[in-house]
Amino acid sequence: MDKFLEMKTFAAVVDAGSFVQAADALAMSKPAVSRHVAELEQRLGVRLLQRTTRKLSLTEEGRLFYSRCKALLADVEVAEDEITAKSAAVKGLIKVNVPVSFGLLQLAPLWPDFMAKYPDVTLDITLADRIVDLVEEGFDLAVRIARLPNSSLVSRKLAATRLVLCAAPSYLRKHGRPKHPEDLAEHAVLSYSLLASGDQWSFEGPQGPLSVTVKPALRTNSGDTCIAAARKGRGVVLQPSFMVQADLQSGALVELMPQYRSIEFGIFAVYPTRQHVSPKVRALIDFLAKALQARPDKA
């Protein structure tokens, strides 16, 4: 008794709409297809298909079992693809899209190590902060920093980062240190214009979540520009930990109000489909996950 073959045959009959067409699709004889379905129904003790001279239709039990069969068969296919991918050669071109600052600060040092490990792979890396259409623009993989993977694409979380509120010691000596997020209304703010919440900055404090409205003295689509101005004492910034970590360690910037934590973002590898992921793309995703988990500035 081959339960998998019975399920596969039953699903093929439903998909094809007839025993004859299912037999052609499965390269079986029509009697063999009929026998597998009949044995399945007998084993389950229910009728799955209503047969007439003109058409086939699913019973209520048949509809339920068909949906389960399709899900299980898809899982088997994915498992087989994963095993095949692991045993296949890692080679060929990988077209990758990454955010500009993260690409320069965190990923640029990693690419040579990946190239050394997989010499038969060619990397084509595009740095851009816009959300590219992976399918339309032909990208195999994108790295995105977001609160949640919000798309029809498939994603794998590689690491995390959080926004850190900070300013230069020279700014704090001149303007004082804010003690509560509401105090930011009285301070010069250097704002990243691509932040989804705009001028609403959110925090999680001792009494729970809160949001404040800031009035930027500078607004720009470049986080590096915000940080450069902050180093010169021009205001307060809210930037990802991976971008300000070195300045915090050197003392060029000081974290403000650490008891009020701001937004945490996931760092995701995003790709078009879970099925038939090529060995080269799977190898890159695994490599990035391992490398980024070892970062010293994880949130």
**pLDDT, tens digit, for every residue of 41-66?**
998 899 999 887 677 889 999 899 98
Residue 248 has a pLDDT of 95
Structure tokens given for 107? 């990923």
On whether the CB atoms of residues 293 and 190 are closer than 8 A, the answer is no
Tell me whether the CATH fold assigned to 3-87 matches the one assigned to 89-299: no
| 84-135 tens-digit pLDDT | 666 567 889 999 999 999 999 999 999 999 999 999 999 999 998 888 788 8
Q: Model confidence at 299, in pLDDT bands (50, 70, 90)?
A: very low
Fold designation for 89-299: D-Maltodextrin-Binding Protein; domain 2 (3.40.190)
- Angle at which helix 3-16 crosses helix 30-44, to 10 degrees, equals 110
Q: Domain locations in the chain?
A: 3-87, 89-299
Fold designation for 3-87: Arc Repressor Mutant, subunit A (1.10.10)
On whether the CB atoms of residues 198 and 170 are closer than 8 A, the answer is no
Structure tokens given for 48? 């799955």
| 179-210 tens-digit pLDDT | 999 999 999 999 998 888 888 999 988 888 89
CB atoms within 10 A of CB 282: 19
